[in-house]
Each structure stands twice: as C-alpha cells, then as structure tokens.
Structure 1
C-alpha cells in the first residue's frame, strides 16, 4: 500500500470469535496468499516467487481477513521468578510471534490468524480494480466474504475522485453478488449505450 495511505480496519464478532479486516500490509502472511494462489479456487492466479509476491502486495491495496486471538501475557520482570525454572523454548523463540499462521507484535499484542484477503490494483484515487477475493474453505459460511466486500464498498464510497471501479465476476451468482453488495453493473450495459468498448490482453498475447 502507498506509504501515504493510513491503514484502515474493521472488527466484527461472529459466534464469540472476533474477526478483523485490515489494510495493514504488516499483517499479511505471504505464505497464506501464495498457498491461496496455488488452489483451484483461484484458477486465474499462481504461486509467485517471494520477491515477486512482495512487489505485487506492496503495490496494491490489500485487505486481510483475520481471526483475532487473545494477546500474550506480559513478560515477567527480572524481579519475578520464572515458572517453571526453565522458560518455554516456544515462547522464547521470536518466530512464534511471527509465524505464517499468526501475526503480532509479541507479548501483550493480539495474534492474528489469516482467514482471507482481497486486493485492489489502484492509484488510490481514481481507479480501483478488485481481484483475488478469497476466504479459506474452513472459514466459509460465516459471512466473512460478504463482510469483506462491504468493506471494499466502504473504501470505494470514500473516494470523491473515483472514476471507475472494475472486477471480473463469474456469470450468474457472481454477477448478482457484486451487483447487490458492491454496486457494480455489467459493462455490457455501457457497451450497449455506446459509451465504452472493453478491450483486454491476456498473458499469452
């Protein structure tokens, strides 16, 4: 995300579990994104080399979906004896706080388990192309995808100089979903009106 863009976040509790949607790139698990890219659910994508993926994400507006876990207790002070006498090696290992599954800032910070994401290719002002909308299979059926799109709509509605928002939807249910929840319309309507002629080029051309 552009350095000038302040991260935004939304929170919701579903069945006693708190969830977070955040545009903070520091929370995104690159392994989660790449694993999603490698699934059949995201047939248009493929896993990327680490440097390429980092470039893609840093030049996009990425919205991560997370399950919020309780914070770690604060570390004991020097005056407080440890119990047991030998500290747990798991808690001593910084990678525990920054694993592929959980993101956080150490003791006293929330742990975030990534459940999904969506990505805007954008200049952050006039044009927003929504792509890579994904919720992990085990997290579906809870309304997280619909909530994610409502947050996307809130971002679009907050842009006074927006010229065009775009996405590629599947016919039928996909088209109806984005019409209802994101205010999108079929570009063929603009074609019929004589306003635009959509053109594209894929990777094989």
Structure 2
C-alpha cells in the first residue's frame, strides 16, 4: 500500500525499506531502543505492519503497528529524521498508518510516548482511563 504527497511517499513495501537508516535511528537516537540489534529491528518490522516514509527514494521516517488486525494494535518505533521535521510529515505518517484498511474497526490501539502526546491526540489517542490496569514486563534490548 502506498500514499503520496508531493515528493514524499509512505509505503508498506518492506522490501523498499532502508534498514541501515531505520537501525541507525532506533539504536543511536531513539530514547526507547538504545543499542537495539539490527536483526531485532528487521525482524520486528517483518512481523508487524510497517510503514516507511520516503523523500523520493530516501528513507526519512518509519512507524510500525504490532497488530492482530482484528482487535488490537500497538504503535511503535515512530520517527521522522530531524532534518525533515517541522513540515507536518510526522502527522501525515500517522494519518497514513491510521488509514490502513487492516487497522479499521479494532477494539483498542495503544502506544507509549514521552514527548509526542499532541501528535497522537490529533489521531484520537488519550491517556488510559485505567492506568492501574496496565502492566509491563521489561526485557533486554
């Protein structure tokens, strides 16, 4: 699946993704995945519904939904490279993610963020009504 806007495109064609760019960002810049192994990044993408953001053929952003496509999805690893921020591309990337047909009619979508609450609120995400019900088990990168 693909969306286009000017010289930009969002694609779910994982074979077109530049995993060097994705891994570099997730392992070196993202606060949530420092040092993550490239093999884990690629395996996670291949077992998710992954979205690449491109300027022509250059990968400049990424997002993925971990989902069963029936009831639940978890949005993860969203980024736009810093040189391309400020042009609304993050909003557009999430617009495209949320428009994907496999993500319609789900009972719940979740995400975790420390700094992008306003971005996700535009797409209907709110703080959990029952945070006391949410649990996690944290493993190693």
Task: State whether structure 2 residue 121 is matched by structure 1 residue 191.
Answer: no
Q: Which is bigger in relative contact order (C-alpha 8 A, separation at least 6)?
A: 2
CA contact (8 A) 1:22 1:65 kept: yes
The TM-score normalised by the length of structure 1 is 0.62
**CA separation of 1:47 and 1:30: change in aligned 2, threshold 3 A:** farther
Task: State whether structure 2 residue 24 is matched by structure 1 residue 35.
Answer: yes
Q: Residue 177 of structure 1 corresponds to which residue in structure 2?
A: 119
> Residues of 1 paired with 2:136 and 2:99: CA distance?
28
> Residues of 1 paired with 2:37 and 2:114: CA distance?
28
Cα drift, residue 51 of structure 1: 3.5
- Residues 144-173 of structure 1: per-residue CA shift (max 9 Å, x gap): 11111111221279523x1110001226xx
> Residues of 1 paired with 2:138 and 2:45: CA distance?
20
> Residues of 2 paired with 1:33 and 1:113: CA distance?
11
- Structure 1, unmatched stretches of 5+, are 1-7, 69-111
Where in structure 1 do 4 or more consecutive aligned residues deviate above 6 Å?
none
Q: Which one has the largest radius of gyration? A: 1
Root-mean-square deviation (Å): 2.1
Q: In structure 2, the residue corresponding to 1:38 is in which secondary structure? A: helix
- Structure 2, unmatched stretches of 5+, are none
What is the count of residue pairs matched by the alignment? 140
Q: How does 1:92-171 map to 2 (within 5 A)?
A: 112-155=57-100, 159-160=104-105, 162-170=106-114
Q: In structure 2, the residue corresponding to 1:128 is in which secondary structure? A: strand
The TM-score normalised by the length of structure 2 is 0.88
> Residues of 2 paired with 1:158 and 1:53: CA distance?
22
Cα drift, residue 127 of structure 1: 1.0
Cα drift, residue 48 of structure 1: 4.0
> Residues of 1 paired with 2:68 and 2:102: CA distance?
15
Q: In structure 1, the residue corresponding to 2:4 is in which secondary structure? A: strand
Cα drift, residue 24 of structure 1: 0.9
Cα drift, residue 119 of structure 1: 1.1
